[in-house]
Amino acid sequence: MIQIATGDARPIFQQIVDGLRLKIATGELGAGTRLPSVRGLAMQLTINPNTVARAYTQLAEEGLIVSQKGVGVFVAERRQRLSDAERRRRLRDATERFVHAVVSLGFSPEEILDHLSEELELLETAHDGESHVRPR
């Protein structure tokens, strides 16, 4: 399903959010796909169930997953997700954070854009391919 690593600079909770968000964004996990239960995923990863619950809560708040009481947790339909205005606001926030992080690294805007395009293309190919590991 997804993998986590201890010792990573991202908390386990964030690794789960990022991992599932990516799989949903690439379509690997399509709308309506049933996700493991909180306890089930916690068992698979040998982590505290509260950590999984926290990650699921965040994904539900983002409109990416829905929890149906007594039935299970599912990937949400696209229309159930964020409003256009909210999506634009988040894009703006994320872009701002990205720009702040890279501005001092000394790359030209072209180099940064090239790198960004490459990453986005990889996401598209990852959808079909078996391996999601970026070639180095």
Q: Which residues bind other proteins (CB under 8 A)?
A: 6-13, 39, 42-43, 45-50, 104
Which CB sits closer to other proteins, 6 or 83?
Answer: 6
Which CB sits closer to other proteins, 11 or 30?
Answer: 11
Which CB sits closer to other proteins, 15 or 66?
Answer: 15
Q: Whole-number minimum distance, CB 8 to other proteins, in Å?
A: 6
Q: Whole-number minimum distance, CB 126 to other proteins, in Å?
A: 23
Residue by residue, DSSP assigns the chain as -----TT-SS-HHHHHHHHHHHHHHTTSS-TTPEEPPHHHHHHHHTS-HHHHHHHHHHHHHTTSEEEETTTEEEEPPGGGS--HHHHHHHHHHHHHHHHHHHGGG---HHHHHHHHHHHHHHHHHHHHSS--PPP-
Q: Whole-number minimum distance, CB 93 to other proteins, in Å?
A: 17
